[in-house]
Amino acid sequence: MPDSTTPSAFARPLAGAALLALLTACGGTAETRASENASADSATVSTAQIEAEEQPYLANLRQLTFGGENAEAYWSADGQYITFQSTRDGRSCDQQYVMRADGSEVTKISAGGKTTCGYFYNGDSRVFFAATHHADTACPPRPDPSQGYVWPLDKFDIYTSKPDGSDLQRLTNYGVYTAEGILSPDGTSIVFTSTKDGDLDIYTMNVDGTNVKRLTNTRGYDGGPWWSPDGTKIVYRAHHPKDSAELAQYDELLANNMIRPSKVELFVMNADGSDNRQITQLGGANFGPTWTPDGTRIIFSSNHENPRSRDFNLYLVNLDGTGLTKITTHPEFDGFPMFSPDGTKLIWASNRGAKVEGETNVFVADWVGK
């Protein structure tokens, strides 16, 4: 929804029916499943293709998950593993998983409730992610449909475990929406989003949960933060109400632990929160920003060409908002992009090749773009 959230988790409701279930089971032990790669059986043969218009940027497409809703797949530092969230096996809300980079050895590492926004740290010896199981091991209730198109601000806190799911520990203890965490390049800090001070703002903290600092202060939603490769900047998505009526609606939803995230643009700031500036003015929902390996451009997902649709594509943009370049053209959802640590591959979530409506899977391709 790291777009958890958000989400990074927040982004899944944006795609409408295609991603409705993306955001149960209890369990104190890790749950390991057989490989889900294309060689597993005939039911896992991918029909997904790279579109002709995508070929200047992507090659050698591989599908890593098959069935259910799978998203927010992020690499380990050594490029050998991936953590992601999924509603597989009939679950109605996400659990956190780790798998090998080829899609094999899928292991559930969470303990119920709802999860989002996982990331490796401490030399890949641990994973942190947001979860709600402290409040209830069942999935949180969905928002009242009469509210229209909204995203719930569930009571996430950030947890950490070993990659096999053992030694689960609670890192934050705010009891309000606290998620969308990403590790700094030097491995010492986590940037995240929380309502702990009454608004949706971005914070940093040490990896042990100490030294919490607030980076944003403008009324409205600030989320989905991601460090630049050199650790000097943070890109994020935001929507700041422009008038009193819009602000009143935002405040009313926030008081009921909801947000309507259909309008978000991209911003960049220094790692200490200074020099905050907007870099896109596209309209629609622009989310899930990460960086190109050289730190000169942002890759993100957007439906700005048709803001009321679930047709999200991946784009590149320069830090000054110029050079907008469309990367994917598949006519449904593509989102949550991240380059591999060596910069040679791109991983993302997509509806392409779906066998049923709303199925979202994790894909990886060779990056051949410039």
pLDDT tens column, 152-200: 999 999 999 999 999 999 999 999 999 999 999 999 999 999 999 999 9
CATH architecture label of 5-367: 6 Propeller (2.120)
- The per-residue pLDDT for 14 is 39
d(CA 341, CA 330): 25
- Split at pLDDT 50, 70, 90, the class of 47 is confident
| Tokens matching residue 169 | 């520990």
Per-residue pLDDT band at 48 (split at 50, 70, 90): confident
Q: Residue 315 half-sphere exposure, CB side, CA atoms within 13 Å?
A: 23
3-class secondary structure per residue, 188-246? CEEEEEECCCCCCEEEEEECCCCCCEECCCCCCEEEEEEECCCCCEEEEEEECCCCHHH
Output the pLDDT for position 89.
Answer: 78
Can you tell me which residue has the tokens 């650790």? 231
Can you give 120-153 as a three-state secondary structure string?
Answer: EECCCCEEEEEECCCCCCCCCCCCCHHHCCCEEC
Confidence band (pLDDT; 50, 70, 90) for 23? very low
Which residue, among 223, 219, 187, 225, has the nearest Cα to 206 in the 3D structure? 187
What are the beta bridge partners of residue 106?
33
In angstroms, the Cα distances linking 72 to 90, 210, 361 are: 19, 26, 10
Report the predicted TM-score, pTM, of the whole model to 2 decimal places: 0.90
pLDDT grade, residue 96 (50/70/90)?
very high
Confidence check: pLDDT of 16 > 90:
no
> Is the pLDDT at 130 greater than 50, yes or no?
yes
pLDDT band at 38 (very low <50, low <70, confident <90, very high): very low
Q: pLDDT exceeding 70 applies to what percent of the chain?
A: 88
Residues paired with 191 in a beta bridge: 182, 204
Between 327 and 9, the higher pLDDT residue: 327
Annotate 240-308 with DSSP letters as a single string. ---SHHHHHHHHHHHHTTEE--S-BEEEEEETTS-S-EE-----SBEEEEEE-TTSSEEEEEE-TTSTT
In terms of pLDDT, which residue wins out, 288 or 358? Answer: 288
Closest CA to 64 of 78, 92, 91, 83: 83
Map tokens 């958890």 to a residue: 4
Secondary structure class of 12 (helix, strand, coil) = helix
**pLDDT bucket at 45, cuts 50 / 70 / 90:** confident
- Quick one: pLDDT at residue 309? 82
pLDDT at 341 exceeding the cut of 80: yes
What average pLDDT does this structure show over 37-58?
A: 73
Reply yes or no on whether the pLDDT at 138 is more than 70. Answer: yes
Q: Is 144 exposed, middle or buried (0-12, 13-18, 19+ CB in 10 A)?
A: exposed
How far is C-alpha 264 from the chain's CA centre? 15
Q: Which tokens belong to 329?
A: 């053209």
Between 15 and 273, residue with greater pLDDT:
273
- Give 310 or 6, the one with higher predicted confidence: 310
- pLDDT above 70 for 34: no
Tell me: pLDDT of 41 over 70. Answer: no
Q: Beta strand 9-9 with 5-6: parallel, antiparallel or unpaired?
A: parallel
Nearest 5°: the CA angle 131, 64, 307 is 70
Q: What are phi and psi of 52, to 5 degrees?
A: -55, -40
Residue 6, pLDDT above cutoff 50: no
The residue ranking higher by pLDDT, 223 or 68, is: 223
**How crowded is the C-beta side of 54, counted as CA atoms within 13 Å?**
22
Residue 148 is predicted with a pLDDT of 78
Among 36-50, 253-267, 275-289, 306-320, which is the least confidently predicted range? 36-50
Q: What is the mean pLDDT of residues 322-338?
A: 96
Sign of the Cα torsion 97, 235, 257, 135 reads positive
Q: Are 178 and 164 in contact (CB under 8 A)?
A: no
List pLDDT tens digits, range 144-161. Answer: 877 778 899 999 999 999
Distances 158 to 154, 167, 190 between C-alpha atoms, Å: 12, 14, 10
Q: What is the pLDDT of residue 141?
A: 92
pLDDT of residue 52: 94
- pLDDT higher than threshold 50 for residue 21: no
Q: Cβ distance 71 to 334 under 8 Å?
A: no
User: What pLDDT is stored for residue 44 in this prediction?
Assistant: 66
> Rounded to the nearest 10 degrees, how much is the dihedral formed by the CA atoms of 102, 125, 5, 255?
160
The chain-wide mean pLDDT, for the chain, equals 88
